[in-house]
A and B are shown apart, each in its own frame.
Chain A
């Protein structure tokens, strides 16, 4: 009549099994996310019309096979590119309908009309190293970001970087539609017109 209680399962090796799995996942884990410079390639168009762009609205950056940087046919160091690009983009030398009321530049008539018209043309040769190319891309993107930051401070009292950070933050309590509108306005005032010549 004695009820035999079933023997208890020995759970001593449970920890070993769990450790084994843990170590497996530890080894295969990559937690970090990739980051990089996002670009959009131009689509291939069948019949391309030649658009006439005034020479003063183009800022040519050429990277030659020896990784030397030629800006408007003059040799320049990497550290000076950002300032040169900012000066070019924010020049605002246009008149009448091309006038730019928010530009802070000198208004030099031989430089760009307004940020919307200003195009940076980046050209590289086959022998250019990828590291140099990325460095220049980075500096040019930094120039645009700087201008957007300054403009955002003027308009809304916060930086463009901060606004982008808030926009991506899921827990941000503010109004995202309004924020998106603000961001779009900044992007429209300083559009990234970076052409890559093949």
Chain B
């Protein structure tokens, strides 16, 4: 009779967790593939304005980012409250933009360089003066394709 008495009576068997790593790895691979690393730490306020007539910027490797806005509260003591330009990780002058564009172009493959777009991520509180200056610098280096990056929403939110 011992043949039929192997199982413990009345005790619930522990849940088998052997496949847990598999599940987690699956999630892990999803996020690894979908990840784009945050490459810029923002040192400025960057509340984008809203618009609804927008186009998507889907090829991220063909986009150069120029940020502008008032310095964050942590940097206001050093840089004041006037709107500033941020390129990569540091505050810059408008006159640094051509060098930045050349460096960005240099870092891309030659065949994709004509398709580079400049995305202007400008805080909505900023005055147009600095935006006009940025555009003028971009024209000087022939970086004519620009994109005013916005949130998607109705303009009445602005």
Contact = CB atoms under 8 A, between A and B. Distances in A.
Interface of A: 11, 14-15, 18-19, 21-22, 25-26, 28-31, 33-44, 63, 78, 124-135, 137-139, 141-142, 145, 168, 196, 198
B52 interface: yes
B135 A41 contact: yes
B114 interface: no
27 contacts: A11-B21, A14-B21, A15-B20, A18-B21, A19-B24, A29-B35, A30-B38, A34-B119, A34-B147, A35-B55, A35-B152, A36-B57, A36-B148, A36-B150, A37-B148, A38-B145, A41-B145, A126-B127, A129-B124, A129-B127, A134-B148, A135-B49, A135-B51, A135-B155, A138-B53, A138-B150, A196-B135
A151 B95 CA distance: 44
B17 interface: yes
Contact of B37 (A19, A28, A135, A142): A28
A188 B36 CA distance: 37
A38 B21 contact: no
Nearest to A135: B155
B110 interface: no
Interface of B: 17-18, 20-21, 24-25, 27-28, 31-32, 34-38, 49-58, 60, 63, 117, 119, 121-129, 131-132, 135-136, 138-140, 142-150, 152, 155, 158
Contacts of A38: 55, 117, 145-147
A145 B55 CA distance: 12
A131 B138 CA distance: 21
B129 to A, nearest CB: 3
A134 B54 contact: no
B60 A33 contact: yes
A34 B54 CA distance: 10
A34 B21 contact: no
Contacts of A25: 28, 31-32, 35
Contact of A36 (B38, B128, B142, B147): B147
Nearest to B158: A131
Contacts of A15: 17, 20-21, 24
B55 A36 contact: yes
Nearest to B36: A30
B155 A37 contact: no
B147 A29 contact: no
A130 B35 contact: no
A28 to B, nearest CB: 6
A68 B84 CA distance: 25
Contacts of A35: 54-57, 149-150, 152
A128 to B, nearest CB: 4
B156 to A, nearest CB: 8
A37 B152 CA distance: 10
A195 to B, nearest CB: 13
A196 B146 CA distance: 13
Contacts of A43: 139, 142, 144
A130 B36 contact: no
B143 to A, nearest CB: 8
Contacts of B149: 34-36
A22 B27 contact: yes
A129 B142 CA distance: 26
A25 B33 CA distance: 10
